[in-house]
């Protein structure tokens, strides 16, 4: 039987004891066919308690209602939080890797507290973060399942981007972004195959569709 993993403050506690401001970082939309990439940064106060009734975990494991409730609580009770966004124009010009790092840096920049900062990042390190550097980072595989700070960031980013895609979808109803949030679902890919893309589609991500090299994504 697969072991069920839940987030904790284990990583944060070790750093809080060294008087570090711990910032959890995560992103959403990296693999989407349409829409911006969104990153979030969250810093909790030491010894923060997560109350009963608030679910903080990998955002993909929570329902939309659980995410919305958690996002409100996180923003109200954390020490600081930030959002970073990179546009489709940026993604099309510079690629998804540079776009991801740019969004992370924007989110981190919003946390302007004068502390010695340390980043906990889901999966990989972030280059060129002013005043922090790679030495003050830890990349944690599946970090949004293990660290409350990273999980909280994943929730804020997910709620923000989902709402954004719903708003963008008002004028592009054919793509059903209200449901698929820009990811490569069968319906979304079939629509692109039929009518083509729009200005919110990532060119490198949808170019293969014209050649029928289609793989469906059930994320949403």
Which domains does the chain carry?
10-168 (3.30.420.10), 171-211 (no CATH)
142-164: b (≥16 Cβ within 10 Å) or e: ebbbbbbbbbbbbbbbbbbbbeb
The DSSP string of 10-55 is HHHHHHHTTTEEEEEEEEE-TT-SBS-EEEEEEEPPTT--PPTT--
Q: What is the pLDDT of residue 145?
A: 95
pLDDT digits over 97-135, tens only? Answer: 999 999 999 999 999 887 899 999 999 999 999 889 999
- Nearest alpha carbon to residue 160 among 42, 9, 23: 42
For 11-43, the pLDDT digits (tens) are 999 999 999 999 999 999 999 999 999 999 999
Question: What pLDDT score does 207 carry?
Answer: 85
State the pLDDT at residue 4.
63
């Amino acid at each position: 039987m697969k072991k069920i993993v839940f987030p904790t403050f284990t990583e944060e506690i070790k750093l809080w004891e060294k008087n570090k401001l711990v910032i959890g970082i995560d992103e959403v939309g990296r693999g989407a066919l349409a829409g911006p990439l969104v990153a979030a940064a969250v810093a909790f106060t030491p010894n923060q308690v997560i109350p009963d009734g608030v679910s903080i975990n990998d955002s993909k494991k929570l329902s939309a209602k659980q995410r919305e409730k958690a996002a409100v609580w996180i923003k109200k009770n954390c020490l600081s939080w930030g959002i970073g966004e990179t546009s489709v124009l940026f993604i099309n010009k510079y690629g998804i890797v540079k776009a991801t790092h740019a969004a992370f840096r924007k989110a981190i920049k919003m946390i302007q507290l004068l502390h010695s900062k340390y980043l906990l990042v889901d999966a990989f390190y972030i280059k060129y973060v002013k005043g922090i550097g790679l030495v003050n980072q830890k990349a944690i595989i599946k970090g949004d399942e293990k660290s409350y700070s990273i999980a909280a960031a994943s929730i804020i980013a997910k709620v923000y981007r989902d709402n954004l895609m719903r708003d963008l979808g008002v004028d592009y109803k054919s793509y059903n972004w209200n449901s698929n949030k820009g990811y490569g679902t069968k319906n979304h890919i079939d629509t692109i195959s039929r009518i083509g893309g729009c200005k919110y589609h990532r060119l490198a991500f949808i170019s293969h569709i014209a050649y029928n090299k289609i793989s469906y994504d059930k994320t949403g």
